[in-house]
Amino acid sequence: MTAERDFSHLETIAARMVSAGRGILAADESDRTIAKRFEAIGVASSEASRRDWRETLFRAEEAMRERISGVILFDETLRQSSEDGTPLAELIAKTGALVGIKVDKGVAPLGLHPREPITHGLDGLRERLEEYRSLGAVFAKWRAVLKIGDELPSRAAIAANAEALSRYAALCQEAGLVPIVEPEILMDGDHDISRCFDATSEVLRAVYESLALHGVHLAGTVLKPNMVVSGADCFQRAGVEEAAEKTLSCLAACVPRSVGGVAFLSGGQSEEEATAHLNAINAMKRQDAHPWPLTFSYGRALQTSSLRLWGGRADNRAAAQEAFSHRAKMNGLAQMGAWSAQMEESAS
Ligand code: 13P
């Protein structure tokens, strides 16, 4: 028997992460991923350029104060200071947003399953979590990646990733950090929406079975799932209403009621698509079947247009902040089912 622990602090943090009208900014791109994003806008990735970009976002005062509940950072960013010497984590905390940290170490092929990824980073995690906490982090993120394809995802990949997510989540709670549990099923492929529904259901069931086995306190966790959508190359992609309806029925069937909250990833959806889906989901949700707050934890869907406007130049900072603030506001409204497409038109 494990000793009784007090998880009330974790429940409070989780509730703040998913508070009404707000969501999470995923700014935790690994060095490789951010280099790819910068390359697309012709900016070289260096410690200074990465700092400048992220500082631009964190200094978007209004968005940060009113729409962003928390920010997920990459290891480097948690240790960086802004141009005037203020630690970036402190800049974030000053706006009232919570500081989070990506703690997985990326993916590698699963043994004997070379087409499928397994997430690394459990070795030494207990010690790293202690350090992250001392640097100001109050929540963490671990991303598992699953693929839909010929006979994929395999049962082995589902089980291995569910186990890794659970071991990570248990260590986070032991260290006093709220774990974001992220089993992402990639949108890549030409599969239809029902394939995504089936795979997402199977993966979520396995994840919650494993979290229960490990004794993880669900009210002190936030789930970060993919929405149930058609594959990016599907011949006939499902519309917004169908995606919302299937996402909600999948969550109702597979996610325990005690989970602290749900914050979707955007996964390659366009900015407006990610907002429209979140809005439809919230407009359609029923408290009896979907008791959790449903919000965003977007990377690309909050940053793409802003990053393009920034282009690596200090004199574009204000325009970039305005674009980011607009996306944060649109998604904050979508969290309450109060967004409409006309709001996008009037802004442009
Ligand atoms: P996207 O919203 O760009 O999918 O990123 C969210 C994230 O944190 C993936 O791990």
56-103 pLDDT, tens digit per residue, is: 999 999 999 999 999 999 999 999 999 899 999 999 999 999 999 999
Interval 317-347: pLDDT, tens: 999 999 999 999 999 999 999 999 999 987 6
pLDDT classification of 35: cutoffs 50, 70, 90: very high
- Report whether residue 266 contacts ligand 1, using a CB cutoff of 6 Å: yes
Pairing between strand 23-27 and 68-73? Answer: parallel
- CA nearest ligand 1 atom 5, residue: 299
Rounded distance from Cα 284 to ligand 1 centre (Å)? 24
Interval 221-231: pLDDT, tens: 999 999 999 99
Rounded distance from Cα 224 to ligand 1 centre (Å)? 9
DSSP state of 220: G
Structural domain spans, the chain: 2-347
Rounded distance from Cα 265 to ligand 1 centre (Å)? 5
Between 267 and 347, where is the model more confident? 267
- CA nearest ligand 1 atom 10, residue: 143
Span 29-36, average pLDDT:
98
Instruction: Write phi, then psi, for 333 (nearest 5 degrees).
Output: -70, -40
Ligand 1 atom, smallest distance to 266 CA: 2
- Report whether residue 143 contacts ligand 1, using a CB cutoff of 6 Å: yes
Quick one: angle between helices 193-213 and 240-254, nearest 10?
A: 30
pLDDT classification of 3: cutoffs 50, 70, 90: low
Q: CATH class for domain 2-347?
A: alpha beta
Task: For residues 272 and 251, give the distance between their C-alpha atoms in angstroms, rounded to a whole number.
Answer: 22
Query: Exposed, middle or buried by CB within 10 Å (0-12, 13-18, 19+), for 346?
Result: exposed
Span 202-213, average pLDDT:
98
Ligand 1 atom, smallest distance to 302 CA: 2
- Report whether residue 300 contacts ligand 1, using a CB cutoff of 6 Å: yes
Specify the amino acid at residue 140.
Answer: A
Portion of the chain with pLDDT greater than 90, in percent:
97
Task: For residues 97 and 41, give the distance between their C-alpha atoms in angstroms, rounded to a whole number.
Answer: 28
Phi-psi region of 13 (alpha: psi -120 to 50; beta: other; left: phi over 0): alpha
Span 287-312, average pLDDT:
98
Rounded distance from Cα 297 to ligand 1 centre (Å)? 7
pLDDT classification of 4: cutoffs 50, 70, 90: confident
Contact 49, 95 (CB under 8 A): no
Distances 183 to 53, 81, 267, 312, 323 between C-alpha atoms, Å: 27, 31, 12, 32, 29
The pLDDT mean for the chain works out to 97
DSSP state of 153: S
- Report whether residue 299 contacts ligand 1, using a CB cutoff of 6 Å: yes
Cis before 153 (ω within 30): yes
pLDDT at 57: 98
Distances 286 to 147, 239, 283 between C-alpha atoms, Å: 30, 20, 9
Q: What pTM does this model have?
A: 0.98
pLDDT at 1: 47
pLDDT at 2: 54
Contact 136, 151 (CB under 8 A): no
- CA nearest ligand 1 atom 4, residue: 267
Task: For residues 170 and 110, give the distance between their C-alpha atoms in angstroms, rounded to a whole number.
Answer: 22
Residues annotated as catalytic are 182, 224
CA torsion, points 96, 279, 201, 249, in degrees to nearest 10? 130
Rounded distance from Cα 299 to ligand 1 centre (Å)? 4
pLDDT at 236: 96
- Report whether residue 327 contacts ligand 1, using a CB cutoff of 6 Å: no
pLDDT at 345: 83
- Report whether residue 227 contacts ligand 1, using a CB cutoff of 6 Å: no
Q: The dihedral of CA 170, 251, 239, 296: what is its sign? A: negative
